[in-house]
Structure 1
Amino acid sequence: MSEEAFANYSVTILVGGLILYMFFIMYKLMKDSNAGKFGGFIIFGALGLGVLGFIIKEVLIHTLDM
């Protein structure tokens, strides 16, 4: 396995793990602050946009074969 392939796989896997951990943090923040449905929507919507940006970037990279 080349260094480039290893770096690509490890970044994707580790950032995926970080994304899952961030969702756990957002869920815990929502529960601890008693945010309710609208507050939970705002927390997951605002903080989840960064995650969505990463996912869209990965899809575009694989689609355009860059």
Structure 2
Amino acid sequence: MEIEEFESIMMTVMVSGLCLFLLFIMFDLARRANAGRLGTFIIVGGLGLGMMAFALKGIIIELLTGFSG
């Protein structure tokens, strides 16, 4: 395994772990603030939008490079 391959795999694993941890933080914040369903939806929706964009960017790049190659 080349170093570039290892770095690519670890980057994906570590960023995914960070996103899961941030999701846990969002739900914990909503629980501690007694936000209710709407408040939890707003917290997760607002803060999770960046994570969703990051995931979609990776999917779109893979789709585009898969079709051009």
TM > 0.5 between the two?
Answer: yes
Name which one, 1 or 2, has greater alpha-carbon Rg. Answer: 2
Structure 1 counterpart of 2:37, one-letter code: K
CA RMSD of aligned residues (A): 1.2
Structure 1 equivalent of residue 21 of structure 2: 21
Distance in 1 (CA, whole Å) between partners of 2:18 and 2:42 is 20
Query: What TM-score results when the alignment is normalised by the length of structure 1?
Result: 0.92
Identity %: 42
Secondary structure of the equivalent of 2:34? coil
Q: Structure 2: any 5+ residue segments left out of the alignment?
A: none
Number of aligned residue pairs: give it: 66
1:42 is the counterpart of 2:47: no
| Unmatched runs of 5 consecutive residues or more in structure 1 | none
What TM-score does the superposition give when structure 2 sets the normalisation length? 0.88
